[in-house]
Amino acid sequence: MNAKRTDFLATVVINLIVATVVGILVFLLAYILISGLPHVSWSFLTGTTDAFSGAGGIGVQLFNSFYLLVLTMLISVPISLGAGIYLAEYAKDNWRTSLIRSAIEVLSSLPSVVVGLFGFLLFVVKFKIGFSVISGAIALTFFNLPLLTRNIEESLSAVSRSQREAGLSLGLSKWKTEIGIILPVALPGIVTGIVLSAGRVFGEAAALIYTAGQSAPVTNFGDWNPMDPASPLNPFRPAETLAVHIWKVNTEGLANNAAQLSAAASAVLIIAVLLFNLGARLLGNFLYRRVTASK
Q: Which is nearer to another protein, 2 or 162 (CB)?
A: 162
Q: Which residue, 175 or 224, has its beta carbon nearer to another protein?
A: 175
**What's the Rg (C-alpha) of the chain?**
22
159 phi and psi angles, rounded to 5 deg: -75, 135
Tell me how far, at minimum, the Cβ of 265 lies from another protein, in Å: 43
* Cβ closest to another protein, residue 4 vs residue 295: 295
Tell me whether residue 86 is exposed, middle or buried, using C-beta atoms within 10 angstroms of its C-beta: 0 to 12, 13 to 18, 19 or more: middle
* Those residues with Cβ within 8 angstroms of residue 176's Cβ, 6 or more apart along the chain or in another chain: 167
Question: How far is it, in rounded angstroms, from Cα 33 to Cα 90?
Answer: 47
Smallest distance from another protein to CB 185, Å: 5
- At its nearest, how many Å lie between another protein and the CB of residue 290? 10
Say if residues 168 and 174 touch (Cβ distance below 8 Å).
yes
Beta strands in 158-293 (DSSP E): none
Q: How far is the CB of 93 from another protein (least distance, A)?
A: 11
Burial annotation 102-132 (CB, 10 A radius, 16+ → b, else e): eebeeebeeebeebbbbbbeebbeeeebebb
Q: Which is nearer to another protein, 34 or 166 (CB)?
A: 166
- Nearest approach, Cβ of residue 164 and another protein (Å): 9
Residues in the site for another protein, rule: CB under 8 A?
160, 162-163, 165-173, 176, 180-181, 184-185, 291-295
Q: Which of 107, 168 has the CB closer to another protein?
A: 168
The distance of closest approach from Cβ of residue 87 to another protein in the complex, given in angstroms and rounded to an integer, is 16
> Whose Cβ is closer to another protein: residue 47's or residue 184's?
184
* Residues 140, 116 contacting (CB under 8 angstroms): no
